[in-house]
Structure 1
Amino acid sequence: MSERGLNTVSFAGHAASSAQFKALYAEGMGLVEETAGYLDGPGRTASKVLPRMASVLYAAESMRLTTRLMQMASWLLLQRAVNNGEMSREQVMSEKSKVRLDSFNVDRSAPGWNELPDSFRELIERSLRLQNRVALLDREIYRPQEATTFVPDNQNGVKAQIKLLQTAFGSN
């Protein structure tokens, strides 16, 4: 059996330059704009009448929300740049190391959480869902090459996976 190359297709790599990525990009940038509009308008007004604990929580969560969105926007802009040939993958890898896509904890049981405006809590939830999608795509695109499964050219990839499962679970 020869190990000349991979018989796998990187769907994530293709997805990053596809219509799905463009939709994700539009959604992410739209959420950034929507959040900025909310925080500068209705959110500012709503925060002024919140009880003390909710007001403190609002301030902390709005900072986390904007940080989360800026990190995602940075990642989306970097990915768009590499997709458009404006940056090399190496340049993006260097810049990407400055971007944090890990979760910022949201404590929904924190005092004052239930007093936060519903629209603000919804922006937080949407940003967390988007962050998870972006982080998943990031892991799929930029995972180390050694993490991929090598399938010899003359072997069926599905059969190889079935054999691995049978070996792992001890069944035939």
Structure 2
Amino acid sequence: MIKLAEHRVFSDSFKPLYNQGMGLVEEAAEYLDGDGRAAAKRLSRLGANLYAAESMRLTTRLMQLASWLLLQRAANAGEMTREQVAAEKSKVRLDTSSPQEEADGWFDLPEAFRDLVVRSLRLQDLVRRMDEEIYGSERGEEAELDFGSSNPVFDQITLLKTAFGHR
């Protein structure tokens, strides 16, 4: 079975994803250091607190994404084996959330900032799906085991494999 995500990451078609991610990192850094800093000073206390918290989440999310992208690029270039990447990427978290519209004051934040947050979340979702397809997920493996133990067909297949020594 061909995994599309694996093909994308370990081929030349990885470059656009890498460029998109690293471009977003640069764009966010420039915004937070420039226009964002000025805009944050004009926010209410609630808005300023939310901006501070959300900018930390954004920065964390983007640094984690950049780490994942750099690991994949190293594997793609042959600088690391897939096993080395898998071991290192276990340190990368692809689950930084954001309260977005649910947070009081969300729509008081600068539109450019909200756009960066939304785009970073979309990229994180894409990367997380690719990561799960390529490397699997512990949660998915646990779900398979739970599903398998309550599935009579799976139980029969397991019995047959055991009986014929194919484990």
Q: Report whether the alignment pairs 1:84 with 2:96.
A: no
Deviation at 1:114, TM superposition (A): 1.2
Q: TM-score, normalised by structure 2?
A: 0.78
In structure 1, distance between residues paired with 2:86 and 2:4: 19
Point out where structure 2 has 5 or more consecutive residues left out of the alignment: 142-167
Deviation at 1:80, TM superposition (A): 0.4
Report the equivalent of 1:36.
Answer: 29
Per mean C-alpha deviation after superposition, the further-off stretch among 55-64 and 111-120 is: 111-120
What do the CA deviations read for 1:4-39 (whole angstroms, capped 9, x no partner)? xxxx22322211123432111000000000000000
What do the CA deviations read for 1:22-59 (whole angstroms, capped 9, x no partner)? 11100000000000000000000000010000000000
Deviation at 1:107, TM superposition (A): 3.7
What do the CA deviations read for 1:63-102 (whole angstroms, capped 9, x no partner)? 0000000000000000000111101112111110100012
In structure 1, distance between residues paired with 2:23 and 2:115: 14
Q: Report whether the alignment pairs 1:58 with 2:51.
A: yes
Q: Report whether the alignment pairs 1:96 with 2:89.
A: yes
User: How many residues align structurally?
Assistant: 139
What do the CA deviations read for 1:84-138 (whole angstroms, capped 9, x no partner)? 1101112111110100012413242222111100000000000000101111111
Report the equivalent of 1:5.
Answer: none
In structure 1, distance between residues paired with 2:71 and 2:100: 30
Q: Which amino acid aligns with 2:58?
A: L
Q: Report whether the alignment pairs 1:48 with 2:45.
A: no
Q: Which amino acid aligns with 1:48?
A: K
Per mean C-alpha deviation after superposition, the further-off stretch among 117-126 and 95-104 is: 95-104
Q: Report whether the alignment pairs 1:67 with 2:60.
A: yes
The structure whose residues are more often helix, as a share, is 2
Q: Percent identity?
A: 61
Q: Higher relative contact order by CA 8 Å / sep ≥ 6: 1 or 2?
A: 1
Per mean C-alpha deviation after superposition, the further-off stretch among 94-103 and 106-115 is: 106-115
CA RMSD of aligned residues (A): 1.6
Q: Report whether the alignment pairs 1:113 with 2:114.
A: no
Report the equivalent of 1:163.
Answer: none
Point out where structure 1 has 5 or more consecutive residues left out of the alignment: 1-7, 148-172
